[in-house]
Structure 1
Amino acid sequence: MIIGFKNHGLLIRFVIIFFCLNTYSFGEVTNSLARFNLIESFEADFTQKVFDGESTLEEIVKGKFIFKRPANFLWISDSPYNQQIKSDGEYLSIYDVDFEQNIIRSLSDEIKHSPLYMLFNDVSEISNEYLIEENKLNSHTVLNFTNRNENNNVESFSIKLESDLIKSLSIMDRVSGQFEINFEDIEINKYVDSSIFDFHNIDNAQVFE
């Protein structure tokens, strides 16, 4: 069984949020996200923090995140976790480097179970599911999304934007606690070789589907 840093579900939710923001124009919701359609690729170093329900820091993970339209992403976690989460747009792979184990599942399954699935179907549904607030603070903008459904695990999430780029993202989960990601050394629209998202030819990996 793959083990490693906790809360893969929260991480996948983040990726889905990022994917959605870069797939649709949110001009009807907020002008702050209207330029996301211009982003063809996004690459950055990240620092991920996981807090428990008492806001106690449980985990810090660092690594690299790469996104490429239309639905490719690669999430590499540095030592001691040594995990890669990637998608070719159809399937999702969670690969543990140390244990040489690779879990492959349908990306659509993850999306369908995400509270943000409606972003892929009808952007107008966002305001029905979330109360959205936009706060402009000096050089950055913070977008706060509060779930209207109290029974949903995702209580809220917020996005910090600087110069139309995601600088940080926070998810508050009623079960898992709080999950934060900060980005540094961001590069957009650089060439990204699609072969890096291929997970079918990982040497010596035990595959679980």
Structure 2
Amino acid sequence: MPQAQQQVYVVDDDQGMLDSTVWLLESVGLKALPFTSGRAFLEACDPASNACVLLDVRMPGMGGLNVQEELRRRGIELPLIFVSGHADVPIVVRAFRAGAVDFIEKPYNQQLLLDSVQEALARRQVSAAPADPRLQAVQERLASLTPRERDVLLPLVRGYTNREMAEQLAISVKTIDLYRSRVMKRMQAETLAELVGMVIAAGLVDALDLRGAP
């Protein structure tokens, strides 16, 4: 990956801001890939790219925080920098808790933005060591789960009973049994313990956040 050109995904529904940011990045030799919506970016995003993401918070349809959440769900760990004219405290806190590397207010200082991008790209290179193919396979299986299967997955690995999950999701125990079976099959887990290990390895739950953990 160090030989690949460094690039920056720029996601902003403000065309003027998008164009000026792309120009700034390209002026220092970076490849900038512009997108006017979060969904367009997610469709084009390459998880293995030598890249970081500049992401606006407030956009029509799918906002920046939702894009960040979807990247995490897919197991994509590109460094993410939020750029927003609406940096209220709850939004900033939520962004950082979910793994953002920086949060820059508009109108931004050009050098501050460039410094943040370079730091994010440096982090990317450090974290881009060859991934364990077993973990990659687990992440691919996680990405294949349907929304309802994902709803069942986390309570299941945290130790909730079928009846408790049924009450949480307002569906029948029989339906929980069906989704539980589908989750095990999609994840290629022969036992619940194996499934728990996969989810912990993927970083979706903390080993200490399980029922019965010391």
- TM-score band (shorter)? under 0.3
Greater strand proportion: 1
What's the TM-score, normalizing by structure 1?
0.26
Larger Rg belongs to: 2
* Larger relative contact order (Cα-Cα within 8 Å, sequence gap ≥ 6): 1
Greater helix proportion: 2
What's the TM-score, normalizing by structure 2?
0.25
